[in-house]
A = this chain, B = another copy of it.
Amino acid sequence: MIYYIRNMKTITLKQIAEELNISVTTVSKALKGYSDVSKKTKKQVKELAKKLNYIPNASAVNLRTQQTKTIGVIVPTTVHHFFATVIKGIIKTAKKRDYMVILLQSEEDAEQEIKSVDLLISKGVDGIMISLSNKTQNFDHLEKIKNHDIPLVLFDKISKITDCSKVVINDQKAAYDAVEYLIKKGYKRIAHFRGDLNPQVSIDRFLGYKKALLNNNIEFDSSLVYICNNNDDFNDGHASAKKLIDMHGKNVDALFAITDMVAIGALKYFNDHGIKIPKDIAIIGFSNWFMSSVITPTLTTIDQPGYKMGKTAFKLLYKEIKTKNVDISYETIEMKTSLIVREST
């Protein structure tokens, strides 16, 4: 039976000190195990602190120690299987090191991303992790973070020109592998539903697609590439699928989509219009969202290890926080992806 004192107002060192007729200094030192406090006093202090349910005032500690034990994370959105997984990894790993996570979302809007960065800086977070929005083209806010000497780690959606630690996958290679797999399977007219023009992942996956075609002597046909940039992957995929069929009819036999969601949008269109998967058209997605394993037909895709990326990203950030003021050498860690073959190919 735990017993709580009703209405325990916030207890401070001062109150403990007064109760015990000693100084605030001694109380603080006793609690932190300093060696110049007698065992007896330590015991008294600790007992009273426990009894009164003393909890240090974090703001005061932060102000004094100049660190907050808090990191900031900015993602485009939380409602996204991959990001949710990364976030889970970050929070869990951070907790182990006694760090807490302030989460912000840019909603794929550059302005919001910039504002969020300012908020985090003013909050005095010990480090910042960002996955860039699709609309981010200027990286001054990242430089700002660096100029404030705040450790920064970019993950997944990164900026190539910013000099900092990064956690990524090799988008180009992953895309290459996916498309080459299609080619080896005998598909020749392979469409690509790509993302917006700016984001690095969008560029890299497109380049991988193109390279795989060229290296296998298949002519690149730009009319087979469709851009999905309405920030609504499912409907983008669905609409692009319609356009693809309207334009090319039977003269297309496979599709490489930039995300699983785009792929599923297309898949849905095909399913609803009597186009058989993979007989009439094969599909490969990207990310291995849970959904892709339960959809009909199940979706071939590329596994992107979100949880591990989150974990790794925090570890990188943590290392930078710890080695602050020392000359830092930035790392870029590349996570392994793998092709998951399912029914859609």
* With A100-B104, A101-B102: A140-B2 Cβ-Cβ less than 8 Å: yes
Interface presence of A95 (CB below 8 A): yes
Q: How far is the CA of A78 from the CA of B307 in the complex (A)?
A: 11
**Which residues of chain B are within 8 angstroms of A81 by Cβ–Cβ distance?**
79
**Which residues of chain B are within 8 angstroms of A62 by Cβ–Cβ distance?**
59, 62
**Which residues of chain B are within 8 angstroms of A119 by Cβ–Cβ distance?**
100
A contact set with B: CB distance below 8 Å: 2, 4-10, 53, 55-60, 62-63, 68, 70, 77-81, 84-85, 87-88, 91-92, 95, 100-105, 107, 118-119, 121-124, 140, 143-144, 147-149, 234, 264, 268, 271, 290-291, 294-296
Nearest chain B CB to A16 CB, angstrom units: 16
Question: Is the beta-carbon distance between B102 and A70 smaller than 8 angstroms?
Answer: yes
Question: Is the beta-carbon distance between A124 and B57 smaller than 8 angstroms?
Answer: yes
Question: Is the beta-carbon distance between B5 and A147 smaller than 8 angstroms?
Answer: yes
Question: Is the beta-carbon distance between A103 and B101 smaller than 8 angstroms?
Answer: yes
* With A60-B63, A296-B271: A7-B147 Cβ-Cβ less than 8 Å: yes
**Which residues of chain B are within 8 angstroms of A294 by Cβ–Cβ distance?**
234, 264, 268, 291, 295
Question: Is the beta-carbon distance between B78 and A104 smaller than 8 angstroms?
Answer: no
Question: Is the beta-carbon distance between A143 and B4 smaller than 8 angstroms?
Answer: yes
A sample of 7 more A-B contacts (CB under 8 A), given A5-B147, A59-B60, A234-B294, is A53-B144, A57-B122, A84-B84, A101-B103, A102-B102, A291-B291, A295-B296
Q: How far is the CA of A148 from the CA of B10 in the complex (A)?
A: 7
Q: How far is the CA of A7 from the CA of B271 in the complex (A)?
A: 57
Nearest chain B CB to A81 CB, angstrom units: 7
Kindly report which residue of chain B lies nearest to residue A271, judged by CB atoms: B296
Q: How far is the CA of A98 from the CA of B324 in the complex (A)?
A: 29
Nearest chain B CB to A230 CB, angstrom units: 16
**Which residues of chain B are within 8 angstroms of A296 by Cβ–Cβ distance?**
271, 295-296
Kindly report which residue of chain B lies nearest to residue A7, judged by CB atoms: B147
Question: Is the beta-carbon distance between A149 and B88 smaller than 8 angstroms?
Answer: no
Most-contacted residue by chain B among A4, A100, A107, A118 (CB, 10 A) = A100
Question: Is the beta-carbon distance between B91 and A104 smaller than 8 angstroms?
Answer: yes
Q: How far is the CA of A271 from the CA of B70 in the complex (A)?
A: 47
Question: Is the beta-carbon distance between B122 and A105 smaller than 8 angstroms?
Answer: no
**Which residues of chain B are within 8 angstroms of A8 by Cβ–Cβ distance?**
147-148
Kindly report which residue of chain B lies nearest to residue A140, judged by CB atoms: B2
Question: Is the beta-carbon distance between A123 and B100 smaller than 8 angstroms?
Answer: yes
Q: How far is the CA of A144 from the CA of B53 in the complex (A)?
A: 10
Nearest chain B CB to A79 CB, angstrom units: 4
**Which residues of chain B are within 8 angstroms of A6 by Cβ–Cβ distance?**
147
Q: How far is the CA of A85 from the CA of B79 in the complex (A)?
A: 6
Q: How far is the CA of A261 from the CA of B123 in the complex (A)?
A: 38
Nearest chain B CB to A147 CB, angstrom units: 5
A-B contact pairs, 23 of them (CB 8 A): A5-B147, A6-B147, A8-B147, A55-B118, A56-B122, A58-B68, A59-B60, A59-B68, A62-B62, A63-B63, A70-B102, A78-B91, A87-B103, A91-B104, A91-B105, A92-B105, A95-B104, A100-B102, A100-B119, A102-B103, A271-B296, A291-B291, A295-B296
